[in-house]
Amino acid sequence: MRAAILEGDSPTLTVREIATPRPGPDEVLLEVIACGVCHTDLHVMKGEVAFPRPAVLGHEVSGRVVAIGGGTEDPNGLAIGDTVVAGFIMPCRSCRQCRRGRDDLCIEFFGQNRLKGTLFDGRSRLSMPDGSFLAMYSMGGLAEYCVVPISALTHLPDTLDPETSCLLGCAGLTSYGAVFRAAEVEPGTTVAIVGVGGVGSSLIPMARAAGATTIVAVDIAADKLEAARELGATVLVDARAEDPVAAVRAATGGVDVAFEALGRAQTFGQALGMLAEGGRLVAIGIAPAGTTAEVEITPLVRRGQQIVGSFGGRTRHDLPIVASLAAQGAYDTERLVTRRYRLEDANAAYAALARGEITGRAIITTRREAERETT
């Protein structure tokens, strides 16, 4: 199969032919339909998030089940030929966090996959052409095939587009976890979203689905703000033209929830300043290692505010709900996807992301050119 491989010290991807992986017990082999272009992958490429190299990135995947690992006792209702979406958090199901339903804190996922690039048994399912180690970031979805633990999969409703639905596995799962779990948004809630890029834009329809009545989009890019309006944002704040804290407070009097989707110290402080008394800051942006933000203690205490981190939803419970919301039209992946690339152009996709050129989300499709010409 072909895979886009990150190797050496350069933040570039090289498409190479490697062996198609084989699934083990409680794993499936997916023929990848599409993979989302996520900023977290870019952090890894730039060395801002530590991860082994060489590696196959890509953690926002839709695909078709082509094999189920031998020794699998419970295929979780999956069968060969099923179209599925894979959650980027792949729970082991057996650690103490998974046993209490906190898939988002799975000890084995973070300890094995996100530190070492392997699955739960300490082995990668991928290898370089010479047979040497090749790390997997989540399932390693920037490839024609990938191995995914059954625990991370849910069926994709027939009414949904299988390409754009890859967003459900990261942007959808992340925004659901932030809105419904960390922020506890309910009807009548007022929210601000600082940074309406790939994940930030996903927060808009998710907040609408939860019943938020005022949704303030804050960004420095006019095209992203206009896209946010089309997705349902009710107030737009151009942080280049005006002080974003003052503008949000003037429009709302302070919001119940502020989402920080950029992972930057400056915007973290701004989001905190937008809160009403009793408000909650939900941080979802991944920052380069060592990044810190200052918090003034007394206002936080006196005003009864909260700061909550949210990495993603709880895969086994929440991913089926995200797919259901998409099927109901509440989370429209086709509107969120603004660019499409081929696997051989993966490098160009991440370069465009790094330049801030992608509004919403880009996806990478994996069909070979010869296949496109016959369909």
- Is residue 176 included in any domain, yes or no? no
- Which residue would you say has higher pLDDT here, 366 or 314? 314
Domain that holds residue 260: 184-309
The tokens for 223 are 């095209």
Residues 76 and 223 in one domain: no
Which of residues 255, 288, 309 is at a domain's end?
309
Q: Give CA–CA dist 57/328, Å, rounded.
A: 30
Q: What is the CATH number of the domain that holds 255?
A: 3.40.50.720
Residue 126 CB coordination number (10 Å) = 27
Same domain, 163 and 199: no
Three-state secondary structure of 243-266? CHHHHHHHHHCCEEEEEECCCCHH
Q: Indicate if 193 and 244 belong to the same structural domain.
A: yes
Q: How many other CB atoms sit within 10 Å of the CB of residue 80?
A: 12
Strand partners, 308: 282
Residues 159 and 19 in one domain: yes
Together in a domain, 240 and 332: no
CATH number at residue 163: 3.90.180.10
- Which whole number is the average pLDDT over 263-270? 95
How much is the pLDDT for 367? 73
Q: In this structure, are 259 and 212 located in the same domain?
A: yes
Q: Which DSSP letter does residue 111 get? A: I
The DSSP element (H or E) to which 31 belongs, if any, is strand 27-37
79 lies in a domain? Answer: yes
Q: 137 and 161, same structural domain?
A: yes
- Average the pLDDT over 248-258 and give the result: 98
- 370 pLDDT tier (thresholds 50, 70, 90): very low
Please give the structure tokens belonging to residue 359. 């509004």
- pLDDT (average), residues 323-327: 98
Residue 119 lies in a domain: yes
Dihedral sign from CA coordinates of 150, 153, 154, 155: negative
311 has pLDDT over 50: yes
Judgement on whether residues 77 and 11 belong to the same structural domain of the protein: yes
Distance separating alpha carbons of residues 300 and 278, to the nearest angstrom: 9
Q: 136-170 pLDDT, tens per residue?
A: 999 999 999 999 999 999 999 999 999 999 999 99
Cα separation, 259 vs 244, whole angstroms: 13
Give the pairing of strands 126-127 and 2-6: unpaired
Residues 271 and 199 in one domain: yes
Judge whether 178 lies within some domain. no
Q: Is residue 175 one of the residues assigned to a domain?
A: no
The last residue of a domain, from among 309, 340, 363: 309
Interstrand relation of 190-194 and 214-219 (parallel, antiparallel or unpaired) = parallel
Instruction: Note whether residue 243 is domain-resident.
Output: yes
Q: What is the mean pLDDT of residues 351-375?
A: 78
Residue 179 located in a structural domain: no
- Is the predicted pLDDT of residue 369 greater than 50, yes or no? no
- Asked if residue 192 is part of any domain, the answer here is yes
CA dihedral for 276, 279, 284, 290, sign (positive or negative): positive
Query: pLDDT band for position 288 (50/70/90)?
Result: confident
Same domain, yes or no: 55 and 125:
yes
CB atoms closer than 10 angstroms to residue 238:
15
> What pLDDT was estimated at residue 372?
47
Q: How many domains does the chain have?
A: 2
Q: pLDDT at position 373, please?
A: 44
Are residues 69 and 218 both part of a single domain? no
**Domain endpoint, select from 293, 309, 325:** 309
Same domain, 295 and 346: no
Q: Which residues contact 144 (CB under 8 A, 6 or more apart)?
A: 1, 2, 3, 20, 31, 32, 343, 366
89's enclosing H/E stretch is: none
List the one residue out of 164, 130, 136 whose CA is nearest residue 152.
136
Question: What confidence category does residue 371 fall into, taking pLDDT thresholds of 50, 70 and 90?
Answer: low
Tell me how far the alpha carbon of residue 157 is from its chain's centroid. Answer: 20
The backbone region for 325, taken as left when phi is positive above 0, alpha when psi lies in -120 to 50, beta otherwise, is alpha
